[in-house]
Amino acid sequence: MVSPFNYMRKRSVFKLFLLMVCTIFWIAACSRNSLKQTVSNGDNTTSNAHPTAVKVVKHAFGETKVPLNPQRVVVLNYPELDHALGLGVKPVGGPSVEDVPLHLRDKLKGIENIGTPDGVSLEKILTLKPDLILSNERSAQPIYKMLSGIAPTVVGIANSGEWKQDLKLFATALNQTERAEKFMENYYARLNELQAQMGKKLKQIEVSVVRISPENITLYLEDSFCGTILQDAGLQRPPAQDLDTSIQAIKDRSVSVSISSELLHMADGDVMFLWGWSDDADSRQALQQLKANPLWSKLNVVQQSKVYQVPDYWIGSGPLAANAVIEDLFKYLVLNHRSD
């Protein structure tokens, strides 16, 4: 027989348990409603608590009023991270470090993880209380209204070949136009130096840029990020990678075109810069399979041992990536060719 005392104690414990469960659900619901109300009403707590002077910035999604001198910047993707860091601004929040390009990995200390570019956490961004968010069209498209509800959001172009326009745009938003202008001066000065050191060889070398993945062999065209740098350097491209004559460019002016192994001859050139996920087992296997293909060994660039494997910044976007590509051009086209 259960004593009245034990019965009452069990009943009290059960009531306490129910109260705790209800409290947890109530707090969670309030948090969700608070976030939803904030992003839907455009209620930027930071901006309201500390009103500042603003300027209007025109970008891919319209016009946005941003602080004259933003202090807490969040970036949604790696190109925006490259632009911000290259302009001397360390964001308070940025994308996951898992796939961050090699040249940015030593610059991430102090940057909070907001999730992957395709799955950012709005809750995390809200807790960082940004006064400016930088994104590109692809990342911002499905969540732009919610982002704008958290903080002024400036959107760049998703095409990597438009990196100079994005540099100018983000520099304006970050109040770093002088730094951007200085970068471009140094950029062209460095390329002029490359041209001078290469001399006649500049017009004699066709440079191919190829990416290997488990799914595709990809050729990067003149309108790609690395393609614009090669153009600015005055370097020649193979006919299949010339934007004006490529089969893909006629359709949609894409920055790249994928080919089958049967069309491997389209990747040939005097020099090839080759990139694949070096830390990905499937990509390493795809590269090994490619090199075992008899068509690979028939390429002139392979026979001349002018294939150079390079890091992922070759298909990146931003001033830091551009500097890294230029350094590779000096390394492989000047230093490695002095004995030719």
pLDDT in tens, 83-121: 999 999 999 999 988 778 889 989 999 999 999 888 899
Given this model, what pLDDT does residue 96 score? 87
For residue 32, being part of any structural domain is answered with: no
Do 251 and 118 share a structural domain?
no
For residue 88, the domain's CATH number is 3.40.50.1980
- Is residue 25 classed as helix, strand or coil in its secondary structure? helix
Do 325 and 191 share a structural domain?
yes
Give the confidence band of 26 by pLDDT, cuts at 50, 70, 90: very low
For residue 267, being part of any structural domain is answered with: yes
Given this model, what pLDDT does residue 67 score? 97
Final residue before a domain boundary, out of 175, 198, 218:
175
Given this model, what pLDDT does residue 137 score? 93
The number of residues in the chain equals 340
Render 136-179 in DSSP notation, one character per residue: EHHHHGGGHHHHHHHS-EEEE-S-GGGHHHHHHHHHHHHT-HHH
Total tally of structural domains belonging to the chain: 2
pLDDT in tens, 211-267: 998 888 999 999 899 999 999 999 999 998 875 544 444 445 578 899 999 999 999
For residue 137, being part of any structural domain is answered with: yes
Which residues span the domain enclosing 171? 45-175
Do 281 and 193 share a structural domain?
yes
CA–CA separation, 314 vs 186, rounded Å? 19
Give the confidence band of 314 by pLDDT, cuts at 50, 70, 90: very high
Do 299 and 207 share a structural domain?
yes
Given this model, what pLDDT does residue 279 score? 62
The proportion of the chain whose per-residue pLDDT surpasses 90, expressed as a percent, equals 64
Do 150 and 67 share a structural domain?
yes
For residue 5, being part of any structural domain is answered with: no
Do 169 and 205 share a structural domain?
no
Given this model, what pLDDT does residue 97 score? 80
For residue 237, being part of any structural domain is answered with: yes
Given this model, what pLDDT does residue 252 score? 52
Specify the range with the lowest mean pLDDT, choosing from 1-5, 175-179, 201-205.
Answer: 1-5
**What's the pTM?**
0.82
Given this model, what pLDDT does residue 216 score? 86
H or E segment to which residue 56 belongs? strand 54-59
For residue 25, being part of any structural domain is answered with: no
Final residue before a domain boundary, out of 160, 175, 190:
175
Res. 31: pLDDT tops 50:
no
Q: Is 64 exposed, middle or buried (0-12, 13-18, 19+ CB in 10 A)?
A: buried
Specify the range with the lowest mean pLDDT, choosing from 3-17, 77-91, 287-301, 310-324.
Answer: 3-17
Average pLDDT, the chain: 84
Res. 127: pLDDT tops 90:
yes
The proportion of the chain whose per-residue pLDDT surpasses 70, expressed as a percent, equals 79
Do 151 and 193 share a structural domain?
no
Final residue before a domain boundary, out of 123, 142, 175:
175
Do 190 and 95 share a structural domain?
no
Do 272 and 150 share a structural domain?
no
Do 223 and 300 share a structural domain?
yes
Res. 28: pLDDT tops 50:
no
Between 332 and 47, whose confidence is greater?
332
> Which candidate, 273, 213, 214, 215, places its Cα nearest to that of 241?
273
Contacts 24+ apart (CB under 8 A), 62-65: 64/148, 64/152, 64/153, 64/154, 65/152
Do 209 and 101 share a structural domain?
no
CA–CA separation, 180 vs 113, rounded Å? 26
Do 308 and 227 share a structural domain?
yes
- Is residue 53 classed as helix, strand or coil in its secondary structure? coil
For residue 28, being part of any structural domain is answered with: no
